[in-house]
Amino acid sequence: MSAIETTPLLIGLPPLVDGRSRVLILGSFPSEMSLAKHEYYGNPQNHFWPVMEALFGIDRSAPYAERASGLLDHGVAVWDVIAECTREGSGDDRIEDARANALVTLLEDHPRIGHVAFNGGTAHATARALAPELFSLPGVLCERLPSTSPRNARMRLADKVEAWARVKRWLGTQ
């Protein structure tokens, strides 16, 4: 008798958000490393924290609690489109059985958020499929930005920083 292999259900991270948040950055789902660390963008190869360092002066090598606090201090919230899924490895292309987070509820609960930045194409496409109502909310602009993932190696860090600078413009800090 052979054992039936099943892929365990993975549960994402809670939102990083508070009453000061004005921009919401949405990824697709945390990597294995991020889930293990209980940190957004926990893979040191991901360019998210270097981009945030360039934009807001948040030290990418600081402890996670300080980096998270730095984002909130600047009005930036972080969450993922997917609440739970099954996946082997960390690749977005391996995600199955995805269920969306309560994105509209989060935005209703945090009415100062007027912009949603999707961290890459998978986050954007997944939101279109799982939470299409997000794109028709009055007063909320949704925009896809280049992925900070290490899989987006064709784009240099400096080019990602330039593209992500619109987050600063949305916050009125540039």
Tokens describing residue 56: 């807001």
Tell me the residue ranges of DSSP E strands in the chain: 9-11, 23-27, 76-80, 82-86, 96-100, 115-119, 141-145
Phi, psi of 97 (to 5 degrees): 50, 45
The per-residue DSSP string of 123-155 comes to HHHHHHHH-GGGGG-TT-EEEEE---STT-TTS
The alpha carbon torsion through 14, 33, 152, 106 (nearest 10 deg) reads 0
Label residues 116-149 b or e (16+ Cβ within 10 Å = b).
Answer: bbbbbebbbebbeebbeebeebeebebebbbbbb
101 catalytic? Reply is: no
Catalytic site residue from 43, 46, 101, 119: 46
| Spatial contact of 131 and 81, defined as CB atoms under 8 Å apart | yes
Q: Mind telling me the catalytic residues? A: 46
